[in-house]
């Protein structure tokens, strides 16, 4: 007999709107013909439904390009919502399907060896970082005061200075003693301006 090795992904991780589902075939014999039919999970579409691959003493790959709607992440990443095994071709939450129509032609005549596979698909969309704002009451205030109120009274001068420097560089705030040049003078920042800054990196 002849041997055909098929490598397929154990899971398809979906981070971006464009992802890939690769299948690799290898045989040291002449020759195998494989038609890979692919059904993407719910939330994704595939560029093509099937790929025909001829393998003869070599390694070849069939790669499907997926276009995914990341807004379905919440409903497809939960394990309890993965659909049960069913008929091939039916779209499922969290499951991609591959149907391999295989012909072994190494012995002169071709023999059929078909099989089906289901692959877990996980949406792993990064959550956007929430913008941290600070309430600055009326009256004189400074960027130093705003940062100090977030870090607490026990914060060291060094940690406050580092946070102030980072915020100044991100928001074009001029602090001559730090060698930072910007559009806004750190000594003339209003409470309203200070309250509108993003303090997400101050920890």
The C-alpha angle 26, 29, 33, rounded to 5 degrees, equals 65
Mean pLDDT computed over every residue of the chain: 81
- pLDDT score, position 81: 33
| Residue (of 83, 93, 79) closest to 40 by Cα position | 93
- pLDDT score, position 83: 36
CB-CB neighbours of 123 under 10 Å: 24
What ranges make up the beta strands (E) of the chain?
A: 5-7, 11-14, 18-27, 32-39, 44-46, 50-55, 58-68, 95-104, 111-123, 173-174, 184-185
**81 touches 109 (CB < 8 A):** no
**96 touches 11 (CB < 8 A):** no
Q: Which residues of the chain, if any, have pLDDT below 70? A: 1, 73-90, 125-141
- CATH ID of 5-123, from 1.10.10.10, 1.10.1660.10, 2.30.130.10, 2.60.40.10: 2.60.40.10
Taking the C-alpha atoms of residue 28 and residue 10, their distance in angstroms, rounded to an integer, is 24
Phi, psi dihedral angles at 117 (to 5 degrees): -145, 145
- pLDDT score, position 99: 93
- pLDDT score, position 71: 80
Q: Encode pLDDT of 117-151 as tens digits.
A: 999 988 876 655 565 666 655 543 688 888 888 88
Q: Encode pLDDT of 2-25 as tens digits.
A: 788 999 998 998 888 999 999 999
Domain ranges of the chain: 5-123, 143-195
Taking the C-alpha atoms of residue 119 and residue 165, their distance in angstroms, rounded to an integer, is 48
């Amino acid at each position: 007999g002849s041997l055909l090795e098929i490598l397929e992904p154990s899971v398809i991780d979906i981070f971006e709107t464009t992802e890939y589902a690769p299948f690799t075939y290898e045989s040291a014999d002449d020759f195998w013909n494989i038609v890979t039919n692919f059904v993407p999970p719910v939330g994704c579409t595939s560029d093509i439904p099937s790929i025909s691959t001829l393998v003869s003493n070599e390694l070849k790959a069939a790669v499907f390009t997926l276009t995914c709607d990341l807004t379905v992440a919440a409903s497809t990443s939960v394990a309890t919502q993965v659909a049960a095994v069913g008929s091939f071709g039916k779209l499922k939450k969290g499951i991609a399907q591959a149907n391999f129509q295989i012909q072994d032609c190494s012995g002169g005549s071709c023999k059929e060896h078909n099989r089906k596979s289901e692959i877990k698909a996980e949406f792993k969309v990064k959550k956007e970082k929430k913008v941290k704002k600070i309430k600055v009451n009326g009256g004189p205030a400074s960027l130093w005061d705003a940062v100090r109120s977030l870090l607490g009274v026990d914060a060291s001068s060094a940690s406050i200075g580092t946070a102030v420097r980072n915020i100044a560089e991100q928001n074009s705030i001029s602090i001559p003693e730090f060698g930072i040049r910007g559009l806004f003078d750190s000594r003339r920042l209003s409470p309203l301006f200070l309250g509108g800054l993003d303090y997400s990196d101050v920890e």
